[in-house]
Amino acid sequence: MQDKPVTQNDVGVAFSRHDHAHCADATLARAEAAALTRGARLTPVRRRALEILLEEHRALGAYEVLDRLAADGFGKQPPVAYRALEFLVENGLAHRVRRLNAFTACMHPGETHMPVFLICRVCHAVAEASATPVRAALDRAAAELGFTVERTNVEALGLCPACHDLACTGVST
């Protein structure tokens, strides 16, 4: 909860006080590097879509992204946003949060990982949590049934530390 500098790959950065301008810039830089590595073309719309997602640690609906893209002179029609977002997701630069029908920037692009999302139902912050143990447990459960896991969605809804504290201390309104 203190504003110590947060390292780039810190999980749960969404719930920490931090210099978000730096956080977003750094993540964008890493995304660009990751895209280069994969030979994925981060064109202007795509890049701008990612920047938009990076503006906040929450998930944005496709139409919300679309509006901002349109405001920046890109196309105004749904496919414009959906295509850019699909590209970002396919290339591991963003994730889809199914619970919210929305998208969020990946906070550690380049690293292969199974995203685990913690979604605050009050402030709508979205954090990517440490996934490895969850993935392992899931793989074991699947293996017991002979099921081969290819992709996963793991999402938890609840309270982030800040909103939890607020709920406990003063429930005035």
Point out which residues bind a second copy (CB under 8 A): 11-12, 15, 98-99, 116, 118, 120-121, 127, 129-131, 133-134, 136-138, 140-142, 144-161, 164
123 counts as binding Zn ion under rule CB under 5 A: yes
Q: CB 95 → a second copy: shortest distance, Å?
A: 13
Could you tell me the two tokens for 30? 């890493």
Q: Which helix H or strand E contains 48, and what residues bound it? A: helix 44-54
Interatomic CA distance for residues 104 and 57, integer angstroms: 8
> By three-state DSSP, how is residue 16 classified?
coil
118 contacts which partner out of Zn ion, a second copy, DNA, none, CB within 5 to 8 A by kind? Answer: a second copy
Size of the site for DNA (CB under 7 A): 22
Could you tell me the two tokens for 62? 């496709």
Nearest partner of 107 among 17, 6, 8, 3, judged by Cα = 8
- Contact window for DNA (CB under 7 A) among 12-20, 29-37, 73-81, 130-138: 73-81
Interatomic CA distance for residues 143 and 173, integer angstroms: 48
123 contacts which partner out of a second copy, Zn ion, DNA, none, CB within 5 to 8 A by kind? Answer: Zn ion
